[in-house]
Chains A and B, each alone.
Chain A
Amino acid sequence: MEEIKEKWTGAVNTVTVGATEKEGGTRKSTVTIGGETTLPFLHFEGSIPYRPALALDVLDNLPEEWPEVLKEPYRDVLDNPAQWAALCEEKYGADMICLRLKSLHPDWGDTAPERAAETVQAVLEATTIPLIIWGCDDPEKDNLALPLCAQAAAGENCLIGFATEDNYKTLAVACLADHHKIVAQSPIDINIAKQVNILISEMGYKPEDIVIDPNTGALGYGIEYTYSIMERIRLAALDGDRMMAMPIICDVGFDSWRTKEAKALKEQFPGWGDEGVRGPLWEAMTAVLLLQAGGDIVNLRHPMALEKVRKQIDALMGNGE
């Protein structure tokens, strides 16, 4: 059978997160993503030089609202982000940590920006893998805290999110000053995704250091639309659009564990089966689907989901036969 191959002119940018001692940081490993010259996992058509990376979420405040099944693997460390992060690295084998500074948010603790920087430092000291720093989604607080976090993590080449169309300057300047990679977020809107990249680039920030967060949803909640947006981003990148050539991060854990299908108890929906398996599976299915749409990093929560997604990546990154 003849293989019909598309001839693409562009490629996804290659982005490295984390810095080893030699590179001015303290990480033992770094994560490199992107570089694809074809659609996801079409090994016969182009090059897919790097495996997608798997991050585990660590929160800086006690996640009381989490379902029991999700709290269980972290039972003893939920109130200590540094220990939690270390557990994610050592026991559960995450490629990266995604530290979520949720407590900054006025509704979730309204903690001081300085505390966020201290948490970043503590997590960096407790781990040796690359760090993603995730703001609390309150622009005012993020603008106060993220520059301090960027400073605290100077030299570590973190990935820091997120810049949006309405709030990108402070974070772009901080990432520029302390040499971090930046997450550019848009509300499942390809036009805004491109616009945020243009705006950040205009600040003098290199487009090659941006990672796109298209704000993906969970399985069962309009993920077809997410899929088509991510596919269009990737097609534009392969077509040579420099402002769409960034690798993509998907915040899967956050989205999937908000769904009823992931967290409802068996007693409520006997037909749905045991939530101890169902929740992680919902998360893993969402992640695998988004990897097939072009995701380069997925933020996960349950270790079982991480394990299952890793197995899928092993299969997808095989020699393509």
Chain B
Amino acid sequence: MYIISERINGMFSAVKKAIAARDEATIQKIALRQIKAGARALDLNVGTATDDQIGAMVWLVESVREVTDATLCLDNPKFEVIKAGAEACGDNFIINSTTAKEADLATFLPLAAETGAKIIALTLDKNGVPNTAEGRVEIAAQIIIAAEAAGITPDRIYLDPITLPINVAQDQPKKMLETISQVKLLSDPSPRVVIGLSNLSQGTKEKSLLNSAFLAMAMGAGLDAAILDPEDKLLMDTMISGEVLLNNTIYSNDYLKAWRA
């Protein structure tokens, strides 16, 4: 499972403050902690910390790059912000994200093709998020076709079936699981599938447990990557156990320790 850290996000108050104050040390500390806990990539999202989104994204990239070469996942809906972040990165980054809207595909896909970056694609179009698995799969297929035309192979695309909060849309997790298993069959090599996990449990009392249970189910359906908080121990223990149960890593009595060694 490819773990992308969710913690460097302006939605969190400590990060928001750090971005506003250009406090590099705080950001760097979070970055290193998340990597130590198991993140292979770091999602960077400036949130609403400042109006100067471009400046903040470039600053975030530069701050994090000072302490780690880990893959950076540039998270913003605006193309200009991603482009500026990409230039600051140089290489080894993921674009997060495009949608199936024509205007998005027309800008983000060429950037991914040109830079060799991987790209996260949300299964939503101008009509929003489809309410069915079939609707999401259809959009996923459109994205893969458009990406192929732009010269991007499916294994560089991370499809995101869009996580909705359980306390708002309880019928959605099951539909997401169906989407995951179906989109894996769309092409060979398969497209990868990523989810932003925490949205699932927003506003609930049992965040860690709900996230863990769903992560295990999604892994069973074929999930490849997740944006989450690797410092959540129950969640990571679940993920590591999932890797063992799927025979992706060799079991030993101390397999949890082995994974963290």
Contacts and interface: CB of A to CB of B under 8 A. Distances in A.
Do these two chains really belong together in a complex? yes
Interface of A: 190-195, 197-199, 201-202, 207, 232, 236, 241-244
Interface in B207-261: 249-255, 257-258, 261
15 contacts: A190-B250, A191-B250, A191-B253, A194-B255, A194-B258, A195-B252, A195-B253, A195-B254, A197-B258, A198-B252, A198-B258, A236-B250, A241-B258, A243-B252, A243-B258
Contact of B250 (A201, A202, A232): A232
Contacts, number: 37
Contact of A199 (B250, B251, B254, B255): B254
A242 B261 contact: yes
B257 A194 contact: no
B32 to A, nearest CB: 19
A244 B261 contact: no
Which of A198, A199, A207 has the most chain B CB atoms inside 10 A of its CB? Answer: A198
Contacts of A244: 250
B249 A191 contact: no
Interface residues of B, number: 10
Contacts of B254: 195, 198-199
Contacts of A191: 250-253
Given A199-B254, A241-B249, 18 more contacts: A190-B250, A191-B253, A193-B252, A194-B250, A194-B252, A195-B252, A195-B253, A198-B252, A198-B257, A207-B261, A236-B249, A236-B250, A241-B250, A241-B258, A243-B252, A243-B258, A243-B261, A244-B250
A288 to B, nearest CB: 26
A241 B240 CA distance: 13
A232 B250 CA distance: 9
Nearest to B257: A198
A105 B218 CA distance: 54
Nearest to A236: B250
A182 B137 CA distance: 52
Nearest to B249: A241
In the A-B complex, the 6 residue pairs with the smallest Cβ-Cβ separation, listed nearest first, are: A194-B252, A195-B252, A243-B258, A198-B254, A191-B251, A198-B258
Contacts of B251: 191, 194
A94 B252 CA distance: 35
A236 B251 CA distance: 11
A193 B255 CA distance: 12
B143 to A, nearest CB: 24
* Most chain B beta carbons < 10 A, residue from A191, A201, A236, A243: A243
A105 B120 CA distance: 62
B170 to A, nearest CB: 37
B257 A202 contact: yes
A65 B158 CA distance: 63
